[in-house]
Amino acid sequence: MVDQFLPTQSDSCHAIRGAILDFSDDPFFLPAEQVTRYWSDGLLVICQGCVAACGPYQRLRTAWPDIPLTDYSGKLVTPGLIDTHIHYPQTAMIASHGEQLLEWLERYTFPTERKFADANYAAEVAELFLDELLKNGTTTALVFAAVFPQSVEAFFAAAAARNLRMISGKVMMDCRAPAYLCDTVQSSYADSKALIQRWHGRGRLLYAVTPRFAGTSSQAQLQMAARLLEEFPDVYLHTHLSENLREVAWIQSLFPDRASYLDVYDYAGLVGEKSVFAHGIHLSAQEWQRLSQARAAVSFCPTSNLFLGSGLFNLHQAKRLDRPVKVGLGTDIGAGTSFSLLQTSNEAYKVAQLQGQNLSALQALFLATLGGARALSLEDKIGSFDVGKEADFIVLDPQATPLLTLRNAGGLPADLTGLADVLFALLMMGDDRAIAATYIMGQPLHPKPDRPAP
């Protein structure tokens, strides 16, 4: 029996026909056949912006004979992609040459983020950034803003105008950084609190308390961040963790009484179920254990980790059955080199290969959809086509380029093995050109409605 509910106003319903793919559970822990839902000819019914039914076309069309239908036969419909770590103020500095993390921050990042004191500039970049996300099929992201509250205002206002489910927050940094980019414990508390009260839970927007990393926050500031989490228990904590070996040694020297990098955050009270830590490349067994116990999440950012020479994220450590750690994919723009989570999956596959690990196409897509939703504690709202979830989805073209047409010459197969092969090629070779459409709450936002669909 296919899940469906009958809304009272079926005139606000519409449907999408195409090959449809999503996950009911984690293919790292259960056989892919058990958790993958794939209909080579499927129907996704959307009512009032949410999923009303999803299943085989023939059966569902009979139940919904009259609603308007958009036909994407030959294309693959999946839940919208979820980016669990990205910096919108770093959009303009993508592909900055020649440094590893700490020098890269000094040389490129801090001067770039300084520009976000200007609300107009911030608004301009926020628009371009959101265009880029949607063009790449990313419908939800956990986003670093800059230290200036107006940079958060600009981002949330732009996301609200598009009805996007986005999480963001003001960067906290009160030391060991240029004065022009530093706040204080008091100003950071007051500004963050005002932003939480104004934006958290407004429409689809959510707030993340965002200390940049232990390198640029005093102990007092980290403790103040924890106080905010106590006052607002459903906001997120978003920061960086164990990205680069020199960084890890530096943090140890700054906090000599703490057992590890993670312990710096833990001691302050920042490690919990809604904490998302970017990178986590150089973690000890104890740190993995603690992340699992706290049900905290890690964002795997392969293009960034390779670009900055940070190291190889150990996905198998996160996906240990005896102490699982939630993990999603992050682009980490501007250290990451692509907005595309397809390209990010491509690099994730290679990072796994370099460690003798094997990432399947279905596992990679899980990380970019339901896995990301779980990492962000949003699995009740997004990440799959379960009835009642918000209808953020994308349409992938397996033959988006001449080379993809050659590689995926047979189109979309009916069976899961065949599909996994087509999907793998899409992940390795695809980018924004493979995103035929992006829908938000059932509405097409990319390509822009005034432009014809490809």
Q: Which residues bind ligand GUN (CB under 6 A)?
A: 87, 101, 105, 109, 212-213, 240, 243, 304, 332, 335
CB of 415 to ligand GUN, least distance (A): 40
> What is each CA distance from 178 to 110, 239, 310, 349, 359, in whole angstroms?
8, 19, 23, 37, 40
Q: Which of ligand GUN, Zn ion, none sits in contact with 370, Cβ below 5 to 8 A by type?
A: none
Closer residue to ligand GUN (CB): 92 or 403: 92
Q: Which of ligand GUN, Zn ion, none sits in contact with 109, Cβ below 5 to 8 A by type?
A: ligand GUN
CB of 447 to ligand GUN, least distance (A): 31
Integer Cα distance of 243 and 206 in angstroms: 25
Integer Cα distance of 61 and 448 in angstroms: 28
* Per-residue binder mask for Zn ion (CB under 5 A), 266-305, x = binder: ------------x---------------------------
Strand bridging mode 236-241 / 297-300:
unpaired
* Residue 218 Cα to chain centre, angstroms: 28
Tokens of 247: 């960084």
The amino acid occupying position 164 is L
Integer Cα distance of 319 and 325 in angstroms: 6
CB of 36 to ligand GUN, least distance (A): 32
83 binds Zn ion (CB under 5 A): no
The amino acid occupying position 2 is V
Closer residue to Zn ion (CB): 113 or 390: 113
Q: Which of Zn ion, ligand GUN, none sits in contact with 296, Cβ below 5 to 8 A by type?
A: none
Tokens of 159: 């996301």
Q: Footprint of Zn ion on residues 125-144 (CB under 5 A)? A: none
Closer residue to ligand GUN (CB): 210 or 384: 210
Closest CA to 223 of 245, 255, 177: 255
Q: Which of Zn ion, ligand GUN, none sits in contact with 446, Cβ below 5 to 8 A by type?
A: none
Q: Which of ligand GUN, Zn ion, none sits in contact with 389, Cβ below 5 to 8 A by type?
A: none
Closer residue to ligand GUN (CB): 150 or 239: 239
Strand bridging mode 443-446 / 236-241:
unpaired
Strand bridging mode 275-279 / 13-23:
unpaired
Q: Which of ligand GUN, Zn ion, none sits in contact with 105, Cβ below 5 to 8 A by type?
A: ligand GUN
Report the 10 Å Cβ neighbour count for 33.
11
Q: What is the DSSP letter of 264?
A: H
Integer Cα distance of 365 and 137 in angstroms: 12
Closer residue to Zn ion (CB): 143 or 404: 143
- Is 244 exposed, middle or buried (CB count within 10 Å of its CB: 0-12, 13-18, 19+)? buried
Closer residue to ligand GUN (CB): 99 or 127: 99
Report the 10 Å Cβ neighbour count for 100.
16
Closer residue to Zn ion (CB): 113 or 386: 113
CB of 333 to ligand GUN, least distance (A): 9
CB of 443 to ligand GUN, least distance (A): 32
The amino acid occupying position 194 is A
Q: Answer yes or no: are the C-beta atoms of 206 and 163 closer than 8 Å.
A: no
153, 174, 266, 332: which one contacts Zn ion (CB under 5 A)?
332
The amino acid occupying position 369 is T
Q: Which of Zn ion, ligand GUN, none sits in contact with 326, Cβ below 5 to 8 A by type?
A: none
Closer residue to Zn ion (CB): 89 or 371: 89
Closer residue to ligand GUN (CB): 64 or 213: 213
CB of 341 to ligand GUN, least distance (A): 17
390 binds Zn ion (CB under 5 A): no
> What is each CA distance from 359 to 212, 306, 345, 364, in whole angstroms?
30, 17, 9, 7
CB of 392 to ligand GUN, least distance (A): 26
Q: Answer yes or no: are the C-beta atoms of 204 and 163 closer than 8 Å.
A: yes
Name the site residues for Zn ion (rule: CB under 5 A). 278, 332
